[in-house]
Amino acid sequence: MLLLNLDHVALAVRDLDEALDRFARLYGVTAASREVVASEGVEEAMILVGGSQVQLLAPLSPDSPVARFLERRGEGIHHLAFAVPDLDAALAHLAAEGAELVDAEPRRGGGGSRIAFVHPRTFGGTLTELVEST
């Protein structure tokens, strides 16, 4: 399996507008994109930082996974995402190595990208997302 790049670091936030305003004031950056990803129960914004991105995730409802994360842990790092050239091959490799996959099959994420998640128990208690590089 080949990791191409750190695609993004995702931060869970309660209020996306407030978080975007705070990022703009503190760091002088604005969102490159913003969209609702109903299948994930979030509204997301992507902020470009060099060759990577910061993804801000706000829940669409109180029962979404990000809302539950915020309730348990508060705002902060939600997951790390790595770009891979072939998501199917990456998932097969991880399964063969005994990784606990949240997604055995790819699904669609923001921007229509193919994504899959690896359970935090697999490595260091950190939720990991794989994003197929296009």
Give catalytic residue positions: 8, 44, 55, 79, 129
| Contact of 37 with 59, CB cutoff 8 Å | no
Query: Quick one: CA dihedral 4, 80, 31, 38, positive or negative?
Result: positive
What is the secondary structure of the chain as a DSSP string?
Answer: ----EEEEEEEE-S-HHHHHHHHHHHH----SEEEEEGGGTEEEEEEEETTEEEEEEEESSTTSHHHHHHHHH-SEEEEEEEEES-HHHHHHHHHHTT--BS-SS-EE-GGG-EEEEE-GGGTTT--EEEEE--
